[in-house]
Amino acid sequence: MAVPSTTFVFILLLFTFFPPTHQTVSLSLSPTSLSKSGDSVLIQWSGIDSPSRLDWLGIYSPPSSHHDNFIGYKFLSSAPTWKSGSGSISLPLVNLRLNYSFRIFSWNESEVDPNHVDQDHNPLPGTAHLLATSDDELSFESGRVPDQIHLAYTDGDDEMRVMFVTPDGGERKVRYGQREDSLDDVVVARVGTYEREHMCDAPANNSIGWRDPGFIHDAVMTRLGKGVRYYYKVGSDSEGWSKTHSFVSRNEDSDETTAFMFGDMGTATPYATFLRTQDESVATVKWILRDVEALGEKPAFVSHIGDISYARGYSWLWDQFFSQIEPLASKLPYHVCIGNHEYDWPLQPWKPEWATMYGTDGGGECGVPYSLKFNMPGNSSEPTGTSAPATRNLYYSFDVGSVHFVYISTETNFVEGSKQLEFIKRDLEAVDRRKTPFVVVQGHRPMYTTSYERGDAPLRVKMLEHLEPLFVKNNVNLALWGHVHRYERFCQLVNYTCGSVGPIHVVIGMGGQDWQPIWEPRPDHPTDPVYPQPERSLYRGGEFGYTRLVATRKKLTLTYVGNHDGKVHDTVEILASGQVLGGSGAGGGGIKSVNIGSSGDAGVIRSSGESTFSWFVKGASVLVLGVFIGYVVGYISYSRKKAVPGSNWTPVKSEET
């Protein structure tokens, strides 16, 4: 039968403007089911006819997510064979309680949208050209077995809290005992969750950031012996049990105290996503686990003082964080206080006129995930001003061995007349120094720092007015702070003045977040602000890491351990009398330390015995060398930019704390 002329013309136009493609791209997974959270899947593809450096793999959960709502992405060019149109990528993935799917998109430089960018202002990939979707979805064999297990102290010396997450709200239990093969004690866990409408703003409450958080289970193991190793597992007979973990219980009769302390750690992801993630957090956890193994049968705990996961409204980063810390937090109590990236948003209930530093750092979470995923001692809370549950885990205290630890919130009200200030007053005045000769206070934003002093200056004025007098009056020995992503130790301070009274202030925000302030000029960054080191600052270190606190009734020692080598870079000792023994940096000697290199440097120790002339010569030499290196690096960078059109994004670090 003859084809009508109009139909022929239509078909001709269709093939002219929409030519058929013979490209068949295959995308496969191996295996299609992972045994547990954190295991790896091998993603393989082939058949891309004209591969581009910007072709990319999208990672989706749930599988029905819109193209733009990916969890993360990887450029196919990260595979060595990508130019052949085929390759593979291996990814460790956490259990989000829903399956994953994967998609490949074609993308080229002409389609880059400068307005669609990630936190570092790097263009986010476009989704206009879908090449392939994985035929299979990726699932987890563990199914409804609990994940994200973490411990915490309670208000009872003979108790230990354990929390975990499952995809359903069915009954789960904890079995525990002093023998791994005899977990005879059983406790049923409370269960709760939170909803999308509890989030106060985007991205936490929109389709990109929101993911179902699952159900959070909370149980307390009771009647524990003093300083005894206990074994435990969580789950149920019908849905499955976790593997068996163990911890050493608190011992109120012991005067020994061990704690691992840091702030601003975050989490690492095996893919790029909308936010900058914290690769250094992996090393922080690794070195602490090394120290935990060396403890043997001694109890210890972890203290993470604000800016916990840096999820900031992208909820799967909370899952990534808890999966990353589980090897540590299932062994030791994991204690936290709230930071700006858990809480702050424009309409937060407490935002006095002077508090100009509160913004959108919380990503619209309103503190809800932080408040429900942790359960710290005490019962502090503040209303959110919305339908969301009250913000919890704000201020509390507990004793471990010879130390009384106090946690405070710099994000909620602490001025005269507030519930928090009344708590701090009562708590410090009630400390029995015969039992706990040392007092350590911890909060997120620092009372003293030599970095970004302008940004938080109004807050620090109020801290000096309302908090410092209490610290001095009650002989607080040590005040630990985060927020600034460096390590910095001060002398004993009262109103910016060194003396023989007042706490030693230490900034320990070097747990993992990779934006850090600049303390010395760099030839390739001539316009960056520089923060000179005043006399009150005794040691500044640019190495990521953590601090280790060890105390007896006679002496408290705080050491700063660096991530690049796992070694001690600074130490300070405090006697029970209050006397401070001269702190020493890496290599000991004459105490004044300034970091002049990248974040991987351990710090350069300056001995007071070296002549001014010698330092002048060395300084001039370093400056000349720095200018030369800067010229070479700048030339190479310029050449590379000309040779490679904007396909390799360079992170641009914003001034974020």
Could you read off the pLDDT of 341-380 as tens digits, one per residue?
999 998 888 988 888 888 899 999 999 999 999 999 999 9
Is residue 223 located within the same domain as residue 302?
A: yes
The encoded tokens of residue 422 equal 């009344």
293 belongs to a structural domain: yes
Q: What's the CA gap between 119 and 562, in Å, rounded?
A: 27
The encoded tokens of residue 251 equal 């011992």
Is residue 136 located within the same domain as residue 158?
A: no
Task: Please state the domain count of the chain.
Answer: 2
Question: Do 311 and 324 contact (CB within 8 A), yes or no?
Answer: no
Query: Burial level of 388, CB count in 10 A (0-12/13-18/19+)?
Result: buried
655 belongs to a structural domain: no
pLDDT at 639 over 60: no
CA distance readout (Å), 154 to 98, 102, 263, 427: 32, 42, 21, 16
The pLDDT assigned to 16 comes to 46
User: What average pLDDT score do residues 159-176 get?
Assistant: 97
191 belongs to a structural domain: yes
605 belongs to a structural domain: no
Is residue 459 located within the same domain as residue 375?
A: yes
11 belongs to a structural domain: no
Is residue 46 located within the same domain as residue 171?
A: no
18 belongs to a structural domain: no
User: What average pLDDT score do residues 515-527 get?
Assistant: 71
Is residue 128 located within the same domain as residue 194?
A: no
User: What average pLDDT score do residues 242-265 get?
Assistant: 97
pLDDT at 587 over 80: no
Question: Which residue, 319, 310, 323, is CA-closest to 274?
Answer: 310
CATH of residue 36's domain is 2.60.40.2840
Please give the residue range of the domain that contains residue 83. Answer: 26-140
| Residue 154 CB partners (closer than 8 Å, separation 6+) | 160, 161, 220, 377
The encoded tokens of residue 560 equal 């700063």
Question: Do 55 and 84 contact (CB within 8 A), yes or no?
Answer: no
For 92-142, the pLDDT digits (tens) are: 999 999 999 999 999 999 999 998 898 888 899 999 999 999 999 999 998
What predicted TM-score, i.e. pTM, was given to this entire model?
Answer: 0.87
The pLDDT assigned to 451 comes to 83
Q: What's the CA gap between 305 and 405, in Å, rounded?
A: 12
User: What average pLDDT score do residues 178-202 get?
Assistant: 96
pLDDT band at 588 (very low <50, low <70, confident <90, very high): very low
For 28-46, the pLDDT digits (tens) are: 999 999 999 999 999 999 9
Domain boundary among 540, 558, 581: 581
Q: What's the CA gap between 129 and 464, in Å, rounded?
A: 57
Sign of CA dihedral 649, 652, 656, 657: positive
120 belongs to a structural domain: yes
| DSSP-derived secondary structure letter, 97 | S
Q: What share of the chain in percent tops pLDDT 90?
A: 74
Using the CB atoms, write b or e for 457-469: b if 16+ within 10 Å: eebbebbbebbbe
For residue 62, cis peptide bond before it (omega within 30 degrees of 0): yes
Domain boundary among 548, 581, 614: 581
Q: What's the CA gap between 145 and 237, in Å, rounded?
A: 10
End-to-end CA distance of the chain: 74
The better pLDDT of the pair 619, 120 is held by: 120
User: What average pLDDT score do residues 464-473 get?
Assistant: 98
Length reported for the chain: 657
For 575-624, the DSSP string reads ETTS-EEEEEETT-SS-EEE--S-TT---EEE-TTS-HHHHHHHHHHHHH
